[in-house]
Structure 1
Amino acid sequence: MKRLLVLSFIAFSAASSAQVKTLSHPSAPDAVFLHSSLGHTWQMQRFDKVPENGSKVSTSAYAAGDWLRAIVPGTVLNSLVANNVYPDPYIGDINRRERKVIPDIADAGREFYHYWFRTSFRIPATVKGKRIWLKLHGINYRSDIWLNGKQLGSMAGMFNAGAFDITNIAKRNGENILAVNVTPVDTPGQSDYKNKQRTGAIGENRNGGDGLIGRNVTMLMSVGWDFTFPDGVRDRNTGIWRDVEIYSTDDVVLEHPFVYSKLPLPDTTSSTQTISVEVRNVSDQPQQGIVKGAIKGTAVSFRQPVNLSAHETKTITFENIVIKNPKLWWPLNKGEQHLYTMDLSFERQAKAIHSVSTRFGVREITSDQQTPDKSRRFLVNGHPVFIRGTNWIPDAMLRNSVKRTHAELEYTRQAGLNLIRFWGGGIAESDYFFDRCDELGFLVWNEYWMTGDTRYPADKELYLANMAATVKRIRNHASLAYHVSSNESTEMPGAPELIRSLDPSRGYQMQSECCGVHDGSPYKYENPMQYFENTASPRGSRVDGFNPEYGTPCLPTVESLREMMPAKDLWPIVDSVWNYMDGGGFHQITTKYRQAVNEFGESSSIEEFAKKAQFVGAMNYRAIWEVWNYNKFGYGDRWASGFLFWYHNSPVRQTGGRMYDWSLEPTAALYYSQNALEPLHAQFDYLKNTVSVYNDFRKAFPQYRLTATVYNLHAEIISSKEVKVDIPADGTVKDAITLDFPDNITPVHFISLELSDAGGKPVARSFYWRSKDAYEGKWTMTGPATAGFQQINDLPAIQLKTTVKVVKEGELEVTLRNPTKVMAFFTRLKLQDQHGKSIRPAFYTDNFFSLTPGETRTVKIRFSKEDVPGKAYRLITEGWNVQPEVREFKLK
């Protein structure tokens, strides 16, 4: 199979940048992809403004001079914004439905966002004697596809792909005109609740609008949710949202290869593979030949003859394919992520006429409830894995790109997460996304498109067809761990049987809150003392068993805040705008979060407020992770097998931000999560005043040294304790040290923890700030992690000693030393271009850290030269009490 080109249009305005996409697995080594940057322009026009039908629109005689340029892959609304028809919905409360700046489909009607898309292409002269195919990888929602005046067919459902044989329609020596008529979802629903049959769960807003969006097989969150636009995306993401591809084949095509590995656990010295592939005869004549296969890096090869009638498809299966001493695939911190490549070909008369390659990992992922509390656990290659995962929310308007996905997953890896849940109201993620999960060691919980907040799909067969297409597309990925039919709902009849027939290698459960997984929460800002106390959820104990949703927000940095709303709404804080950008005020940013920030003293500017807000986000994120670390597998006070943070990425610009903002600017929450999720970690409990050690590796570490040092505000050592600890494999050392805080200690003080190996080499450090405020119980804003931090303003300003080494273009190594006798609190590094705009994405190995007197820290920074307009950029070192220092650099 020779792939010729991918048709896409690169964005032509800042509002729609970074739209270039690639296919992750070319089907042949000579595959060619031509992107929009090479000249493939798409246009679009509203359907009711085009009186002609597809037979006319898809011809070169049709004049489309007044059509708008379109973003493909993308959506109607993305293109309208890029054409300046509407302003960017991600800014302030422009998207607010009541403002009517951008018409909502529920108000304007479905026809308002019903559009034609049109482009042209040529078939390369090198393709002779081959069949030509057009493949659309994803359209939302219904479409009719026309080429050169002929209708090729139709598609329905957001997660289906369509491949059309255009051999007899495409012009080999001329321009081909492709026109796609795209209709919005059948029932767009609306964001109000007047027809809603149920209210939200305890502690949640009522999500999914009136619930009617659930009648479609689509991205359900597009009607509105409390973690995105509360009143929805105006066009419900109508458009050609995935790649459009042209490729060639011979008369026999290999499709959907699948490798299913089994290990004779606990023995891992061999693995047995069951391999299958669909062989399709696309011609009018019988075909016969041989399917051959081989696994690179092994001596494994196999073959099987096959006879096909005209237009027949057969599934060819190879059983008992043994790999001796396989290199196993492991999730993060458990081992290597080894991936094998399998090559398959169909040979006719000793000539390969079609070949496909696929990657897979030899691993066995299982899930059961063999735990003391019958909670769900996950095992990889027979080894229990404590899940420290997250919920993934896609970009609200599908402003996706390979570059953006790469950056987000780099941040995810840096944080130390080991499982990603594709929440059921989102999308089926891209092949590239899964490729990176394979490579980075993430497990994936794949959820399908039903939720308890919305009604059920009206068309069972359409839903199952989209499900089948998705399972076949993703099932070879080593990272894929678990299938779940819905978010807090039920399953479509026939869904479990379909999934098990297509993928018997993985576990399945009906919905996200059953079968050993309890319901989630908390979601909002809460007093971090309640995480330690296990009282942060209004639903009762939630730090136990397996929790699918447990989280908190973090305000974005001031640089991001300035970009996301007009200055008049930024400071003083305009509650109505900030709340709209917080899912309708769901995460309590303008109330409890603001109160927590003010515990560091009232702020006089947005700069000061945003700096202090990072203290709050850092504290809460790390506290959550550390409470779960402590209770891993029953080592602490309760049995816990894991949880999924709700949620760590940002689908829109939002004040209730996460580990990084939509603009890809990390917050302190990223680095304090990274600290808590390091594989060997020393941690402090604000409720018990104890120090414990967490180990995520599969090996034990005997005779390690744990040191805890308490400093007062003036960086004077008040006490220091040291113990030796034997750290169990994949376990926790509970309460190894208890700290005492004298009555006369300063109201704000600090704790430094250090874990060293048996030879005395430091392997982990953690730094905490604490107050003397007494905790008065749940639902108060009191306690040493929460209140009484005003004295932090008394820290004197200091200057750090900083040296910078340019390792290579796009990579810096920064060494910072605190030469003073004062604590350097919350030191931050940031890259800016010559205009003062943040360079994003940029990957700092650490940030928002504190330095004790005499301490040195080295930070490595990576960024792309492509993200630096011009050649000049600067590195700024600053901190809460660190004098800013600016260094200028130039790219070669």
Structure 2
Amino acid sequence: MSAFRVRVALALAVLLTLSLAPASTAAPADVVTTLSEAESGTTAIAGWQIQSSAQVSATGAEISQPRYDDSRWYRVGPRSTVLAGLVQNGRYPDLFHGTNMRDNVNRADFQVPWWYRTEFHVRDRSPNTVLKIPGVTSRGEVFLNGTELGDVVGTYNAREFDISALVKPGRNALAIKVAPADPKKDFTISWIDWAQPAPDNNMGLFRDVEIARGGAVSLAGAYVHTKLALPGMGSAEVQAFAEVRNTTDRPQTVALQGEVASRWLNQVVRLNANETKTVAFTPETLRNPRVWWPYQYGEQPLYRLDLTARVNGRTTDRTGTTFGIRDVVSNLNAKGDRQFIINGRQIQIRGGGWASDLLLRTQPDRLEAQLRYTRDMGLNAIRLEGKLETPEFYELADRYGIMLLPGWECCDKWEPWTGWGGEAWTPEDYPIAQGSLNAQARFLRNHPSVIAFLIGSDISPPEDVQRMYLAEFEKVGWPNPVLPAASLNGGPRPPLGSSGSKMEGPYDWVPPVYWYGDKLGAAFGFAGELSAGHSIPALDTVRGMLNATEQEQLWREPATPQFHTGRGNEPFNNLYLFSNALAQRYGTPTSLADYVDKAQLANYEQVRAQFEANARRMTAERPATGFIYWMLNNAWPSLNWHLYSYDLNPAGAYFGAKKANEPIHIQYSYDDRSVVIVGQGPKKADQLTALAEVYTIDGKLVHSQTKSGISVSLPGLAEVFTLPAVQNLSATYFVRLKLTDGHGKDVSRNTYWLSSKPDIPDWDNSEWYYTPVSQFADLKGLAALPNASVDVRARSFGDKTTVTVRNTSSTIIPAVQLTLRKADGSQLLPVTWSDNYVALWPGESITVQASHEPARRPTVDIGGINVATQRLAATQ
């Protein structure tokens, strides 16, 4: 049916006020979905009632009757897993704090099926009404008006049911009996080692169930292929396709009319009885097309395709979609490494691994905030391993110009050939995987942000699975590259061959110099996932997510397993490697606050080094063509793998990434002391001047070096100079870099805290998840810095706050940390800062700006490793 959607977020009609299930004060008002009065249209179910089968003795035939008494059921939204629904209704409060999810959830709740029930209203019969279910975790038995329709099996295995003969004018009832989920046995969603799994294993629905109505001929889908004339991009060929379905038992002649990119489309098609046909329109040529680019390289214009199907002059269906004009090529370079070429330009992938909300809750504002964060940090891509999100995510990525790499996940039913994944596939499993791929390819095919699909994660699928998937891509007109995996494991299996993507770690702490090596996860080739592991959130977040015992253990007992690290399995269930390195390098923490302060500096330097090393080597003999930082975010409050915490609080890791990914950036190399300038944008920069200074820990300048007249192509790299090995340095010292333009205006500033006793990786004793060190750097001088004083001025107006900080002391401040708060003392989040964690020399000042939701009289906290925290009210 139509993709011309009438999305219903809330009810259009209130049936009656029902008594609530216990503790359900957060539940929405009871609703009935009213289908569109238009001749054709698609309407999303507005909400559900859910109840455990242990509390219901009725059959599906009874439950799916209109006016069945569900007054003791839980009312939930249109997209809700079982546990999300129970949280919404207050059954499990404060689920993400401390060990509540382990200690306060009754697992027996989810060992039995659950019923989903809703009612919808239609004014009159339609010759063609279709129920669209996007998938069920793990499987669902579907009933309508007392009749069983069949099963839906798998989270992503969408299915449609012709319900034309069953729908009646007035009230109709739909019920789905959802079976418990086991990621090892079912095609569902798994959290692998990212997080403690949701206790219900996400059983239920997390995308819209829809009802589509139309006439004799329906439009089952539409898509557009574009071919950009390269290299000049002076023209583009645009070809529209429509999937047309005759829903009757006699031949039909249908007139297809519409527009693609404002060009008129018109074609008459003859369909046999019950035939579905993909109709290709004549390609249209656009002169000087508006080209879609990743955001650093240009704009993100979107075009429209709109189609109408008419039979005997009467409209029977409509569909429409947006698309972008761009060219994507992914191949292997001369070194056998994966690379991506967008619109004829090779682009280094600098991405992060995506985690949906642990309960798969739809939160559009939160999604948008996270994509703003992604851009603000200078990342250009996101990898979605098995968490394929809702439509809003892809629409936002299209608009924000963030490239997406969706695909299946490892270590469960989707990838049983690893030897440590789920149960081996049976003949019955292949159609489920096949249908899932078909449905998701259709779901994703029109989004310009989607640049490839990974059919494997940690290992390439065997040949029969690859060919099965590729056949489904061809059926749906998939326009993008298909990659065998994010890893080289499994070797170059046919027909896709080598993935060209390494996955050799690390996943836990390694020193900054690691990324400049020539082995394992160091900066060369393409890496499907890797990072230096744990990211400690800011102190507010730590106190909000951990109970008192966990907070003490975090800094006093780092080898003790923490519930908020991974899923409780080794080696990611504790922070020993990170915390040991922190103590060895920065000094033994003296309190939780001291531990968090030092951790922010460590996270900052680790993340910055990873991005900087890859940027420096984008033009090396074996270039770094891209990598996915593991991870971008977390599914719930976590001490593992993130660039910003679950509560959207940016801290050291965030600002290390933001600094490294400046559009024009000056940086120091840990391996050879070279200073380079990296450009990561579409234009060339000229007449740049670079200054490098070396200071002892007490602020004495011991070396200065400058170079003028520097040019850097964007994207590109300019080698500036190499700093000498300065003798008699303090154990901890600073390197300060500054880049100015031809007018003396600052372009980039960057400060490094280094050691005359460097970190030395012990490459020969590397494990799959980390490389140990034979010598730790000595950065303890930072903790011994004298306390600094600062003068602060802050002014706020609407959604902007400007803060000026001046160092009024005689000591260096390695990182001034600024935190914005509401009038009640809680943090003002999400927030994007023009800069933060800024180094200030004596007498120096800096002015930064924060963008946030409008707030009345916010306050600003100023702190740092040698700055006593103070709070200032912003003037207005």
Counterpart amino acid of 1:303? Answer: N
Counterpart secondary structure, 1:435: helix
Q: Is the 8 A contact 1:92 1:577 kept in 2?
A: no
CA–CA distance in structure 1, aligned partners of residues 786 and 726 of structure 2? 21
Among candidates 610, 614, 621, match of residue 607 of structure 2? 621
Q: How does 1:677-692 map to 2 (within 5 A)?
A: 677-692=661-676
Q: How does 1:79-228 map to 2 (within 5 A)?
A: 79-86=85-92, 89-96=95-102, 101-102=104-105, 104=107, 112-123=111-122, 132-170=129-167, 172-173=169-170, 175-185=171-181, 188=182, 213-221=183-191, 225-228=192-195
Structure-1 residue corresponding to 2:766: none
Structure 1 pair 134–749 and aligned structure 2 pair: CA distance change class (3 A): same
CA–CA distance in structure 2, aligned partners of residues 838 and 183 of structure 1? 40
Instruction: Tell me whether 1:512 sits opposite 2:486 in the alignment.
Output: yes
Per-residue CA deviation, residues 298-346 of structure 1 (Å, 9 max, x unaligned), is 5x22211123344332211013321111111111322222221222222
CA–CA distance in structure 2, aligned partners of residues 852 and 18 of structure 1? 55
Counterpart secondary structure, 1:260: strand
Counterpart secondary structure, 1:595: helix
Residue 92 of structure 1 and its aligned partner are, at CA, apart by 2.9
Counterpart secondary structure, 2:80: coil
Structure 1 pair 872–731 and aligned structure 2 pair: CA distance change class (3 A): closer
Counterpart secondary structure, 1:184: coil
Structure-2 residue corresponding to 1:661: 645
CA–CA distance in structure 2, aligned partners of residues 716 and 15 of structure 1? 63
Q: Is the 8 A contact 2:221 2:319 kept in 1?
A: no
Residue 27 of structure 1 and its aligned partner are, at CA, apart by 14
Q: Is the 8 A contact 2:337 2:525 kept in 1?
A: yes
Q: Is the 8 A contact 2:260 2:305 kept in 1?
A: yes
Per-residue CA deviation, residues 736-764 of structure 1 (Å, 9 max, x unaligned), is 22224644444333222222233433222
Q: Is the 8 A contact 1:122 1:172 kept in 2?
A: yes
Structure-2 residue corresponding to 1:495: 469
Gaps of 5+ in 2: 12-19, 30-35, 489-497, 763-770
CA–CA distance in structure 2, aligned partners of residues 575 and 752 of structure 1? 33
Residue 164 of structure 1 and its aligned partner are, at CA, apart by 4.0
Structure-1 residue corresponding to 2:355: 393
Q: Is the 8 A contact 2:398 2:448 kept in 1?
A: yes
Q: Is the 8 A contact 1:8 1:243 kept in 2?
A: no
Structure 1 pair 858–150 and aligned structure 2 pair: CA distance change class (3 A): farther
Residue 657 of structure 1 and its aligned partner are, at CA, apart by 4.4
Residue 649 of structure 1 and its aligned partner are, at CA, apart by 0.9
Instruction: Tell me whether 1:295 sits opposite 2:295 in the alignment.
Output: no
CA–CA distance in structure 2, aligned partners of residues 131 and 852 of structure 1? 73
Residue 618 of structure 1 and its aligned partner are, at CA, apart by 0.5
Per-residue CA deviation, residues 58-92 of structure 1 (Å, 9 max, x unaligned), is 23443223333445422222233444544655333
Instruction: Tell me whether 1:6 sits opposite 2:8 in the alignment.
Output: yes
CA–CA distance in structure 2, aligned partners of residues 244 and 846 of structure 1? 43
Structure-2 residue corresponding to 1:794: 785
CA–CA distance in structure 2, aligned partners of residues 556 and 29 of structure 1? 53
Residue 675 of structure 1 and its aligned partner are, at CA, apart by 1.0
Structure-1 residue corresponding to 2:819: 830
Q: Is the 8 A contact 2:460 2:487 kept in 1?
A: no
Instruction: Tell me whether 1:241 sits opposite 2:206 in the alignment.
Output: yes
Instruction: Tell me whether 1:439 sits opposite 2:399 in the alignment.
Output: yes
Q: How many residues are matched?
A: 821
Counterpart amino acid of 1:410? Answer: R
Instruction: Tell me whether 1:329 sits opposite 2:292 in the alignment.
Output: yes
Per-residue CA deviation, residues 838-870 of structure 1 (Å, 9 max, x unaligned), is 2332222322222233444333323335xx7xx
Counterpart amino acid of 1:581? Answer: H
Structure-1 residue corresponding to 2:853: 864
Gaps of 5+ in 1: 20-25, 189-212
CA–CA distance in structure 2, aligned partners of residues 823 and 328 of structure 1? 47
Residue 629 of structure 1 and its aligned partner are, at CA, apart by 1.1
Structure-1 residue corresponding to 2:342: 380
Counterpart secondary structure, 1:319: coil
Structure 1 pair 526–370 and aligned structure 2 pair: CA distance change class (3 A): closer
Among candidates 415, 420, 430, match of residue 460 of structure 1? 430
CA–CA distance in structure 2, aligned partners of residues 728 and 344 of structure 1? 44
Counterpart amino acid of 1:480? Answer: V
Structure-1 residue corresponding to 2:526: 546
Structure-2 residue corresponding to 1:197: none
Q: Is the 8 A contact 2:27 2:88 kept in 1?
A: no
Once structures 1 and 2 are overlaid, which stretch shifts more, 797-806 or 549-558?
Answer: 797-806
Per-residue CA deviation, residues 500-553 of structure 1 (Å, 9 max, x unaligned), is 343453222322224222233111111222222345xxxx46432111122123
Instruction: Tell me whether 1:571 sits opposite 2:552 in the alignment.
Output: yes
Instruction: Tell me whether 1:318 sits opposite 2:301 in the alignment.
Output: no
Residue 805 of structure 1 and its aligned partner are, at CA, apart by 3.3
CA–CA distance in structure 2, aligned partners of residues 588 and 683 of structure 1? 34
Q: How does 1:396-435 map to 2 (within 5 A)?
A: 396-423=358-385, 426-435=386-395
Q: Percent identity?
A: 26
CA–CA distance in structure 2, aligned partners of residues 255 and 652 of structure 1? 37
Residue 590 of structure 1 and its aligned partner are, at CA, apart by 2.7
Counterpart amino acid of 2:390? Answer: S
Structure 1 pair 34–304 and aligned structure 2 pair: CA distance change class (3 A): closer
Structure-2 residue corresponding to 1:697: 681
Counterpart secondary structure, 1:609: helix
CA–CA distance in structure 1, aligned partners of residues 559 and 396 of structure 2? 39
Structure-2 residue corresponding to 1:580: 563
Among candidates 840, 846, 857, match of residue 835 of structure 2? 846
CA–CA distance in structure 2, aligned partners of residues 58 and 128 of structure 1? 19
Normalization by structure 2: what TM-score? 0.86
CA–CA distance in structure 1, aligned partners of residues 137 and 598 of structure 2? 42
Structure-2 residue corresponding to 1:755: 739
Counterpart amino acid of 2:790? Answer: Q
Residue 628 of structure 1 and its aligned partner are, at CA, apart by 0.9
Per-residue CA deviation, residues 246-303 of structure 1 (Å, 9 max, x unaligned), is 454343322321111112322421111232111123345644332123234x5x2221
Q: Is the 8 A contact 1:263 1:272 kept in 2?
A: yes
Q: Is the 8 A contact 1:138 1:243 kept in 2?
A: no
CA–CA distance in structure 1, aligned partners of residues 350 and 218 of structure 2? 41
CA–CA distance in structure 2, aligned partners of residues 758 and 791 of structure 1? 34
Structure 1 pair 562–468 and aligned structure 2 pair: CA distance change class (3 A): same
Structure-1 residue corresponding to 2:859: 874
Counterpart amino acid of 1:843? Answer: T
Residue 616 of structure 1 and its aligned partner are, at CA, apart by 0.6
Counterpart secondary structure, 2:619: coil
Normalization by structure 1: what TM-score? 0.85
CA–CA distance in structure 2, aligned partners of residues 886 and 607 of structure 1? 16
Residue 669 of structure 1 and its aligned partner are, at CA, apart by 0.7
Among candidates 288, 294, 305, match of residue 268 of structure 2? 305
Residue 559 of structure 1 and its aligned partner are, at CA, apart by 1.0
CA–CA distance in structure 2, aligned partners of residues 352 and 876 of structure 1? 61
Counterpart secondary structure, 1:6: coil
Structure-2 residue corresponding to 1:482: 452
CA–CA distance in structure 2, aligned partners of residues 797 and 588 of structure 1? 37
Structure 1 pair 591–307 and aligned structure 2 pair: CA distance change class (3 A): same
Per-residue CA deviation, residues 164-206 of structure 1 (Å, 9 max, x unaligned), is 4545544544x44332211123xx2xxxxxxxxxxxxxxxxxx
Counterpart amino acid of 1:469? Answer: A
Counterpart secondary structure, 2:111: helix
Residue 4 of structure 1 and its aligned partner are, at CA, apart by 4.7
Counterpart amino acid of 2:403? Answer: L
Counterpart amino acid of 1:333? Answer: Q
Among candidates 246, 263, 266, match of residue 281 of structure 1? 246
Structure-2 residue corresponding to 1:260: 225
Counterpart amino acid of 1:858? Answer: T
Per-residue CA deviation, residues 702-741 of structure 1 (Å, 9 max, x unaligned), is 432111123333444333211132324422223x222246
Structure 1 pair 16–414 and aligned structure 2 pair: CA distance change class (3 A): farther
CA–CA distance in structure 1, aligned partners of residues 28 and 505 of structure 2? 35
